[in-house]
């Protein structure tokens, strides 16, 4: 996000600062909260201005970040409402639709299309996560023409992952032989989206069962391309740990070690 670029807004920047304030090292919890509250107030001031204009991608991104911070801090009503506003804006811009279904999509660059795709699945995941945690109905529906597997790569999954917060001074000698695992950020994001997609479909199917429309639900579920997603997810064994999540002796390595080739 370049300052002043097409994907920049003051509201998004303040929302990023507000979210990142909880992770600043060298600051106490109270100081982190105070700093985050300051950026949150600034973000809401910019949000009020943005709501007077047309919907923008950056507004949706900022709202999702703001919602996540508020939910983490226990401000459930604010987090729920800001997320709901983001979901409505997604529908307003047609982000939930495939590019071929959006008017004027031919003028979108590949980067813009990829950004919209990632934004939809990020919102979809957050929608289902909040609904599961709060016991409330989700907003964004699963769509037959949207598949997380087709999401463009946004990072190199083969790069080694190193922890951010490990203290080199307290590093155990046992970690010196640790073999760093690939980051797998894109793969993890896609699989998480698949899990949320399957959960959404199962809820839909059970709802139809309860209303006596089993034949319609079964036909809808089995005929759609989503069924293969459910089958793939169901075939994953809960007892098999993905290599990218493995660690030595149940502990994580120190961040100062150089990745092992």
Tens of pLDDT, residue by residue over 29-58, are 899 999 999 999 999 999 999 999 999 999
Residue 135's pLDDT is: 82
Average pLDDT, the chain: 77
**What is the tens place of the pLDDT at every residue in 59-102?**
999 999 999 999 999 999 999 999 999 999 999 998 988 777 77
In this structure, are residues 195 and 233 in contact, taking their beta carbons and an 8 Å threshold? yes
Q: pTM for the complete prediction?
A: 0.74
Average confidence (pLDDT) over 182-186: 83
Compute the distance between CA of residue 107 and CA of residue 226 in angstroms, rounded to an integer: 29
Cα 255 from chain centre: 24
179 against 13, higher pLDDT: 13
Contacts for 69 with CB less than 8 Å, ≥ 6 apart: 15, 18, 19, 22, 36, 40, 79
In this structure, are residues 66 and 18 in contact, taking their beta carbons and an 8 Å threshold? yes
In this predicted structure, the answer to whether residue 233 has a pLDDT above a threshold of 80 is: no
Compute the distance between CA of residue 180 and CA of residue 183 in angstroms, rounded to an integer: 9
171 against 137, higher pLDDT: 137
Compute the distance between CA of residue 258 and CA of residue 180 in angstroms, rounded to an integer: 9
In this structure, are residues 105 and 113 in contact, taking their beta carbons and an 8 Å threshold? yes
Rounded to 5 degrees, what are φ and ψ at 4?
A: 80, 0
Contacts for 140 with CB less than 8 Å, ≥ 6 apart: 87, 90, 96, 120, 123, 124, 127
In this predicted structure, the answer to whether residue 224 has a pLDDT above a threshold of 90 is: no
In this predicted structure, the answer to whether residue 230 has a pLDDT above a threshold of 90 is: no
Residue 58's CB is within 10 A of a number of other CB atoms, namely: 19
> What percentage of the chain carries pLDDT values higher than 70?
66
**What is the tens place of the pLDDT at every residue in 115-160?**
888 999 999 999 999 988 888 888 888 766 677 888 877 777 788 7
What count of Cα atoms within 13 Å lies in the side-chain half-sphere of residue 242? 11
246 against 181, higher pLDDT: 181
Residue 31's pLDDT is: 92
Residue 149's pLDDT is: 81
Average confidence (pLDDT) over 203-209: 60
In this predicted structure, the answer to whether residue 193 has a pLDDT above a threshold of 80 is: yes
In this predicted structure, the answer to whether residue 4 has a pLDDT above a threshold of 50 is: yes
Pull the structure tokens for residue 82.
Answer: 């800001």
């Amino acid at each position: 996000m370049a300052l002043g670029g097409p994907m920049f807004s003051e509201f998004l920047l303040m929302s990023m600062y507000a979210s990142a304030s909880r992770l600043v090292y060298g600051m106490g919890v109270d100081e982190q909260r105070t700093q985050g509250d300051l950026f949150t107030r600034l973000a809401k001031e910019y949000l009020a201005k943005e709501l007077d204009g047309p919907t923008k991608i950056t507004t949706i991104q900022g709202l999702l970040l703001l919602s996540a911070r508020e939910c983490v801090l226990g401000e459930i009503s604010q987090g729920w409402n800001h997320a709901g506003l983001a979901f409505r804006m997604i529908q307003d811009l047609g982000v939930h639709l495939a590019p071929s279904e959006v008017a004027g999509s031919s003028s979108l660059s590949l980067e813009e299309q990829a950004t919209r795709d990632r934004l939809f699945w990020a919102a979809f995941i957050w929608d289902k996560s909040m609904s599961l945690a709060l016991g409330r109905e989700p907003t964004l529906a699963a769509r037959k023409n949207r598949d997380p597997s087709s999401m463009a790569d946004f990072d190199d999954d083969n790069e080694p992952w190193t922890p951010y917060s490990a203290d080199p001074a307290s590093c155990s000698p046992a970690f010196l032989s640790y073999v760093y695992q690939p980051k797998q950020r894109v793969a993890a994001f896609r699989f998480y989206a698949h899990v949320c997609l399957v959960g959404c479909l199962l809820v839909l199917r059970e709802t139809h069962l309860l209303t006596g429309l089993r034949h319609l639900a079964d036909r809808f579920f089995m005929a759609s391309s989503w069924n293969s997603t459910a089958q793939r997810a169901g075939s994953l064994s809960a007892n098999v740990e993905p290599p990218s999540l493995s660690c030595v002796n149940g502990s994580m390595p120190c961040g100062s070690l150089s990745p092992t080739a």
